[in-house]
Amino acid sequence: MQYNPGWNNSSVNLLHVRAAGPADTLHYVWSSIGAPAVLLVATASSSSVLRVNWTRLLSPAPAGAVWIEPSSSVLYSAAVVFTKVFEYSETKAQEEFFYPTYDLSGFSWDSVNGTLNHTALTAEFSGVPATDPSGSFSNGSIGFRVTAYETGGRDRPLPSLLHTANSSKVEFVLAGVAPRSNSSRFVLEVATVEEPGVEQELRSTRSIDDEYTPTIFQMLSLVAQSRNDSSTRSFLQWKATAYGSRSPRREDNIQCQSGGLQASNWSLPTSSIVRAYFGEGVGNSYTVSAINISFGGEDGEVYQEKRYLSWSALLGFGQPPRDTFSPLVISIMAVALGTPMALLLVGGCVLLFAQRKRYSEYEPIN
């Protein structure tokens, strides 16, 4: 993990996470210059490196300021941008009333350097609006916690996402922000940028196994697929839940719903890392999609009570991890289904043996 490589000033944030394999390298470039975003680049070289022209990156025209060397080694590149946070409430007529939007490209972000943990491979981007007329952020902030992984495994905190060494986690945190009504709900807008020939697909899977995330049976994945060979390039995966506590428990669950995937070539909001890598015409030359993730139960009482919300998502390269039935659930199912079958077999054998023994005690009548 490198913080602002080649730049000694901590007034802006650029975090480079590099995972090198025997013959390839995965690059995650997180930045809060403009809207918070992450650039994902996979290369066919174990020695590929990130280059940054800081003067150009911090200028009004950042195109070409970020690149990978050697450029011929790049196999795939994409970006995920966290663009806006909406807040709304429902009126008595069941109509939705939206308050002024929090545009994340206009936030002021603290230095990531103070939160960087090279041992745990974690860091946190925390910010507040540059102007806050309502005073909602006087004691609060919006944050994005980043975690990288060296091996496969499962997170201990809920929602206990299953991860691989080819993936990273981002946690969206709304902490201490005063809602603008007694029944506020929040929505996070997430945009993706894909190369031509790659398109996004929203998948939803359900499982009866909720051992690791109690009462949550739905998993959603935003998967980038190539139109030519249908191979999966990257993914963004999350469980249909958020939590209202720093140490989440099942009772802290907050309902999480996803809107439909919207594909269009609209211009992205200010996100220098995306424009710096893909160029100024990113909205016209690349596929841009967006999805809304909404949080809040009935009347939003969970957030209203604790003023805390966290939502975790996994992003990475290749196929998203797939949960299988855990040994505990397999054992329970084996006992639940096997015991009746065993009783039937044993009972049948006993009846058969008893029947043979009973008729063997009698002699035929002449």
Question: Average pLDDT in the 106-123 region?
Answer: 96
- Give the count of alpha carbons within 13 A of 247, CB side only: 0
Question: Average pLDDT in the 337-355 region?
Answer: 75
Nearest to 164 by CA among 326, 323, 327, 2: 323
Q: Which residues contact 52 (CB under 8 A, 6 or more apart)?
A: 5, 6, 7, 14, 65, 66
**Alpha-carbon distances, residue 322 vs 80, 161, 163, 205 (angstroms):** 21, 10, 9, 10
Distance CA 86, CA 338 (A): 51
| Residue pair 23/46 in contact by the 8 Å Cβ criterion | yes
Q: What is the pLDDT of residue 344?
A: 80
Question: Average pLDDT in the 55-68 region?
Answer: 95
- Give the count of alpha carbons within 13 A of 353, CB side only: 6
Confidence of residue 73 (pLDDT cuts 50, 70, 90): very high
Nearest to 57 by CA among 14, 86, 18, 91: 14
357 has a pLDDT exceeding 70: no
Q: What is the pLDDT of residue 193?
A: 93
Question: Average pLDDT in the 308-314 region?
Answer: 96
- pTM of this prediction? 0.87
Question: Average pLDDT in the 319-338 region?
Answer: 67
What rounded mean pLDDT belongs to the chain? Answer: 88
Question: Average pLDDT in the 314-327 region?
Answer: 81
User: Tens of pLDDT along 232-272?
Assistant: 899 999 999 999 999 999 888 898 999 889 876 556 666 78
Q: What is the pLDDT of residue 352?
A: 78
157 has a pLDDT exceeding 70: yes
